[in-house]
Amino acid sequence: MSREASRHLFAPLALLPGGWATDVGLDLDGAGNLTGVTAGAASKGRDRLDGPVLPGFPNLHSHAFQRAMAGLAEHRGSDPEDDFWSWRKLMYGLAGALMPEEIQAIAAQLYVEMLEAGYTAVAEFHYLHHQPDGRPYDDLAELSERVIAAAKEAGIGITHLPVMYLTGGLGGKPATEGQRRFLNPPERFLRLVETLRSRHGGDADIAFGIAPHSLRAVPPDALKAIVAAVDAATPIHIHIAEQTGEVDQCLAWSGKRPVEWLVENAPVDRRWCLVHATHMTSDEIRRAATSGAVAGLCPTTEANLGDGFFPAEDWRAAGGTLGLGSDSHISVSVIEELRWLEYGRRLVARRRNRLTGTGGIKDLFLAALDGGARASGRPIGRMAPGRRADMIVLDQDAATLAEIPPDRLLDALVFAGNVNPVKHVMVGGRWHVRDGRHSRRDDILSRYRRALASVRSRL
């Protein structure tokens, strides 16, 4: 079981918002919040942490159930043009087969893996709402509750984002049979959101937002209705401009590119997370970046699906904010997402150190923490008073970190090997990972294996 941490901790080295600091005193309250963060503190009366300390990392985009198909869609088959759209057919097959208890077991296993990798919060973009034949459960929130229960089992913080899905394509194209579990008209969708908020609104490790799935799935009137119904603090996440095919379809429908249409027709601001936003013109980059929206990047999934490379240098030059997610969970690794983001830009430019710059990866790491926190709508992403006590302790004995000076530590973490150096992980003042192992790893893995055997027997 997880255990509550001491209220007074001492970190010999910690990453604070201004950079690395030594001899850091960390004070926690009983609710799991940081009340004091003091550099140059004395260690007396404090529990000493046995390695460099980082803020817990927010994962800003997750489809938990897709963890169950990781590694099963890597054969091209008969389609020589295998792409996102052919992959989606396989994903719909899995989505249509899952039972509630299997969804919970898969999500719990994923969240254990996230915690062991250093993710301490997840924004769950959840579009499985109904029974396999499309009929709502007696409890409209049944499958959302399963995902929230999985987060509580594992101990990860969650921003739950029920997804609005209404149509099968731009221009009101009817939804397909494979999408029938996703569908809610605006009134029922908003009732789902309010139901969840009324049940869980007092939990500091749970927040709620909304997710109009995409311009393909949410017509303009429905988008306007659900955005107008939520307050100014509610996170709003949307898939946008992920594939060139989507750009072509949007141009044919509206004469506008996806991001161009969105910023002209929706009140895009700091509440919004534009997931992927891979294919933008320079004008779209400027307009979206200056809106305050977070670009939600998922480099390993974008690479796996062949989506393309996000124009990260131009986005950051325009003042844009970004964060990272693991999306389809073909990989569950903070390190790999950061590495792919940088390496992708190197491959495009055929040059080195495109996003790292003179300060190494640290500035990008801090920026992704802040972007993930904003997209999550929760007080996380920094070790500072008033933030949740979410933190990672690295293994100071890991070979990849051996004799690395502090100003190169994050560079070594991201680029110097494939052994996970995360040793301990705290969420909301409680330790859930000690010595690299989640406290409930074995029983959650056992349930996951049973769930996979059951669902795959039906596919």
Q: The domain spanning residue 12 has which CATH number?
A: 2.30.40.10
Give dist(CA 357, CA 236) in Å, integer. 31
- What stretch of H or E contains 55? strand 53-55
319, burial (CB in 10 Å: exposed 0-12, middle 13-18, buried 19+): exposed
Cβ atoms of residues 407 and 130 within 8 Å: no
Structural domain span for residue 35: 3-55+383-442
Q: How many structural domains comprise the chain?
A: 2
Query: What DSSP line would sit under 102-124, residue for residue?
Result: HHHHHHHHHHHHHHHHTEEEEEE
> Would you say residue 425 has pLDDT above 90?
yes
Is 8 an annotated catalytic residue?
Answer: no
For position 76, what pLDDT does the model report?
76
CATH number for the domain that contains residue 230: 3.20.20.140
Domain assignment present for 457: no
Same domain, 205 and 302: yes
List, for residues 228-246, the tens digit of each pLDDT value.
Answer: 999 999 999 999 999 999 9
Same domain, 335 and 321: yes
Residue 238 vs residues 60, 143, 279, 324: alpha-carbon distances, Å: 12, 20, 14, 14
Share of the chain above pLDDT 90, in %: 92
For position 2, what pLDDT does the model report?
66
> Would you say residue 331 has pLDDT above 70?
yes
List, for residues 119-146, the tens digit of each pLDDT value.
Answer: 999 999 999 999 999 999 999 999 999 9
> Would you say residue 1 has pLDDT above 60?
no
Domain assignment present for 99: yes
Handedness of CA 364, 160, 166, 65 (dihedral sign): positive
Give dist(CA 362, CA 412) in Å, integer. 11
Residue 191 vs residues 118, 159, 225, 240, 323: alpha-carbon distances, Å: 34, 17, 13, 25, 29
Give dist(CA 383, CA 33) in Å, integer. 10
Where are the extended beta strands (E) located within 198-258? 206-208, 211-212, 236-240
List, for residues 269-320, the tens digit of each pLDDT value.
Answer: 999 999 999 999 999 999 999 999 999 999 999 999 999 999 999 999 999 9
Q: What confidence category does residue 111 fall into, taking pLDDT thresholds of 50, 70 and 90? A: very high
Same domain, 392 and 300: no
> Would you say residue 394 has pLDDT above 90?
yes
Q: What confidence category does residue 355 fall into, taking pLDDT thresholds of 50, 70 and 90? A: very high
Phi, psi of 59 (to 5 degrees): -100, 110
Same domain, 43 and 68: no
Q: Torsion angle, CA of 358/361/366/372, rounded to 10 degrees?
A: 140
List, for residues 411-423, the tens digit of each pLDDT value.
Answer: 999 999 899 999 9
Catalytic residue among 276, 329, 432, 438: 276
> Would you say residue 196 has pLDDT above 70?
yes
Same domain, 196 and 307: yes
Q: What is the mean pLDDT of the chain?
A: 96
Same domain, 31 and 123: no
Where are the extended beta strands (E) located within 325-447? 391-394, 422-427, 430-434, 437-438
Same domain, 30 and 159: no
Same domain, 100 and 26: no
Share of the chain above pLDDT 70, in %: 99
Same domain, 324 and 387: no
Average pLDDT, integer, range 357-361: 86
Is 61 an annotated catalytic residue?
Answer: no
Same domain, 69 and 20: no
Same domain, 287 and 322: yes
> Would you say residue 83 has pLDDT above 80?
no
Same domain, 434 and 352: no
